[in-house]
Amino acid sequence: MEQVKMGVIGAGAIGDLHMGAFRQLEGVEVAAITDTYLPQAEKRAEEHGIGKVHESPEALLADPEIDAVVVAVPNKFHAPLAIEALRQGKHVLLEKPMSVNAETARQIVEAKEGSGKQLMLSHQKRFEGISLALKQEIDKGRFGQIYHAKTGWLRKKGIPGWGSWFTRMDEAGGGPLIDIGVHMLDLTLYLMGNPRPISVYGSTYAEFGPRKQGIGDWGTPNWEGYYDVEDLASALIKFDNGASLSLDVSWAAHAAGLSDEPYVHLMGTEGGASIIGNTGKTVAHKNNMVVESKLAPIEGEDSRMLLSKHFIACIRENREPIISALSGYTNNRILDAIYESSRTGNEVKLNWD
């Protein structure tokens, strides 16, 4: 395929970031756009030099000139649009989370398997310089077997768009766990070698949102709306290889003394590593001494540009993206299990038969 013609569904802030990246790639044309609010789509089309503004997602997906689409819309629309895109013969770059629950995520996987097209989740954290540097060290075997990890993102005051789709369970599928927690879950599972999760124990809490506290700067509040999701979640995940993962995430919390930057701590048999924001360290025992070293990020293009390049390469070379449909489904299964465990107070075991 000499040229890849992209369509973008969703003209909001995230869609805008995708357009800005793809329009810089050689052999790629952002050829069409749509949004439920057409004036916004028309504005983005003018800003990015996009030739077509379709009146609906259905019209864009039916466009025979479009090879691939970016789906950057509220979570509840991810599954229906991704499935229809695959049925229409389009490759799909799907914003996170894959879907609002594991059942609809499974339906996306099934549609992908029968389509002959590529589907990739937009988890740009895998492509950040510090993540790339850490993955290189892991691939060298520097840490041995990673048997435990701690990851999370504890925002102290960051509830987005109070009352909008962000804070409604039926539209978003959850709160910070499914919003920013899925990023950290995806990245850490990848760094651990994608072990299969077999059990989950978790708790969720809503102590700020229902009182209209902890509001952040992202998103536009809708004070006529409502808030029925969590604002903090904590979980322990166990894997089939004996490893475990601790996850903590919040939009709002009295987390005194804790960084509000995303973090991953890996503990292996031969060494370990830590990344907080864009800084990293490695640690090992040498001559009965604890030795720490700085882990420097790999310099180069930004994460969204690298993500976009990877997606286009997978289309052209007909190969599975590193952030595959199966990885998105696995993430959704874990998220569902955390919510179920919180509701029931019990450990949830995952059956993969």
Query: Which one, of 322, 330, 316, 312, lies nearest residue 245 by Cα?
Result: 330
Q: CATH code at 254?
A: 3.30.360.10
Quote the pLDDT of residue 261: 97
Q: For the chain, how big is the Rg over CA atoms in Å?
A: 20
| Residue-by-residue DSSP string for 200-269 | EEEEEE-SSGGGT-SB-SSS---TTS---S-SEEEEEEEETTS-EEEEEEESB---TTS-SS-EEEEEES
- Inter-residue contact 65 to 91 (CB < 8 Å): no
- Is 240 inside any structural domain? yes
- Is 96 inside any structural domain? yes
Range of the domain at 248: 126-299+333-349
Q: Are residues 292 and 310 in the same domain?
A: no
Q: Are residues 191 and 111 in the same domain?
A: no
Exposed, middle or buried by CB within 10 Å (0-12, 13-18, 19+), for 317? exposed
10-residue mean pLDDT series, the chain (353 residues): 91 96 96 97 96 97 98 98 98 98 98 96 98 98 97 97 96 97 98 98 98 93 96 98 98 96 98 97 93 95 96 96 97 98 98 88
pLDDT tens figures, 251-307: 999 999 999 999 999 999 999 999 999 999 999 999 889 999 999 999 999 999 999
Q: Are residues 243 and 219 in the same domain?
A: yes
Claim: this prediction has a pTM higher than 0.85: yes
- Residues constituting the chain: 353
Give the count of domains, the chain: 2
| DSSP 8-state class, residue 180 | I
Q: CATH code at 14?
A: 3.40.50.720
In the block, tokens 């609906």 appear at 56
Cα end-to-end distance, the chain, whole Å: 37
Q: Are residues 218 and 231 in the same domain?
A: yes
Q: Are residues 134 and 112 in the same domain?
A: no
Q: Are residues 67 and 214 in the same domain?
A: no
CA dihedral for 327, 333, 337, 339, sign (positive or negative): positive
Q: Are residues 12 and 135 in the same domain?
A: no
pLDDT tens figures, 96-120: 999 999 999 999 999 999 899 999 9
SS3 136: helix
> Which H or E element spans position 123?
none
- Is 238 inside any structural domain? yes
- Is 13 inside any structural domain? yes
- Is 328 inside any structural domain? no
Q: Are residues 24 and 147 in the same domain?
A: no
